[in-house]
Amino acid sequence: MTATLILHPGKERSVLRRHPWVFDTSVARLDGHARPGDTVLVADAHGKPLAKAAYSPKSKIRARVWSFEVDTPIDHAFFKRRVAQAVRRRAALPELSGQQGLRLIHAESDGLPGVIADQYGDTVVVQLTSAGAEKWRAAIVAGLVKATGCARVYERSDSEVRGLEGLEPATGWLFGEPPAGEIVIAEHGVKMAVDVFAGHKTGFYLDQRENRRLLAELSKGKRVLNCFCYTGGFSLQALAGGAASVLSIDSSQPALERAAANLALNPVLDAAKAEWRCANVFDELRKLKAAGEAFDLIVLDPPKFAPSSAHAERAARAYKDINLLGFRLLAPGGLLMSYSCSGGIGVELFQKIVAGAAADSGRTARIVKRLQGAADHPVDLAFPEGEYLKGLLVQVE
């Protein structure tokens, strides 16, 4: 018999608005017995069923909603259907047609909380971060294989958030045989190797795909500075766009070596225009300013400074500092592409931070374009937390 999670009075409002998270502070009691990952009914204080959700007793997010239709069976067929729906939605978007690197499932925004699935050619990489996703691993993988016809599925469930669910890291092949060589995809004509075993996230930052295309369009003849460059995605697109020079900075020497190797995959690009510099980005930008350097186009794509709203204040200072340094290095008429991937920093707050940095630098700046994740990273209207990546393209006088 399915257990029922009874909410405190008034705490049903977010569920009625179809928000998929039920926090521990909203729960009055659990009627019945449920293990981690089991499906439970979510009901209001009067016992009226509202949704079916995955139970997670060790997490502050006590339940994640699978379905707001309480009569829907949560079984293998449910997950295969949800996976197929997510894949079809992407196939219906022209801008995603032919992409070799593609996010197939974007967790809550695809109705599958705790499930990330990225496709690189004929390889799919899954990341399962919740107790419910863990329980239904086999059904999710079977759904991916059927919906995509992929040759293999690799699991990268090694993010720290699994610990909040009481789960151990899990990696390894779930379907098919390992590829004979490295996995290489082409993005807007530029080849990039993807390290699905040890790379960030599932191996690559697919969410920045269209922003990298925009950078290429803006780069012709410009002196470009790419900060926190990782394996060179923005840098190579700048070169492909005809940049006069590209200086790329990252604190990870292995990432820079991978970036240089990615450049070598593209002999049509002029390697003489690229410089890879291993350094602390904050320190290096101060040195560049002291040396009188200036750039026409600067990319600031730092790591996640604020994983939650609890870290927002400290993160805001870091974002302010890095953007201030960026503004000081821009040549007149220069462009700044600045991003935050921190869920704890909202769109409005991020704009205020960048505006404050511009003011402190003494520059007049204008927003040319608001930037966000690519179309395969949708945001459910009832789940604004899904909009983790936000950015601004700013031009200075």
Tell me which residues are annotated as active site: 341
Q: Rounded distance, CA 326 to CA 320, Å?
A: 10
Strands 39-43 and 4-7: parallel
Secondary-structure percent of the chain, ordered helix, strand, coil, rounded to 5: 35, 30, 35
Exposure of 382 by Cβ count < 10 A (0-12 exposed, 13-18 middle, 19+ buried)?
Answer: middle
Contacts of 75 (CB under 8 A, 6+ apart): 139
Pull the structure tokens for residue 272.
């003489």
How many angstroms separate the most distant Cα atoms in the chain?
A: 71
Q: Rounded distance, CA 318 to CA 329, Å?
A: 17
Q: Rounded distance, CA 1 to CA 11, Å?
A: 24
Q: Rounded distance, CA 49 to CA 393, Å?
A: 46
Pull the structure tokens for residue 146.
């059927």
Q: Rounded distance, CA 124 to CA 136, Å?
A: 17
Whether 250 and 290 have beta carbons less than 8 Å apart is answered as no
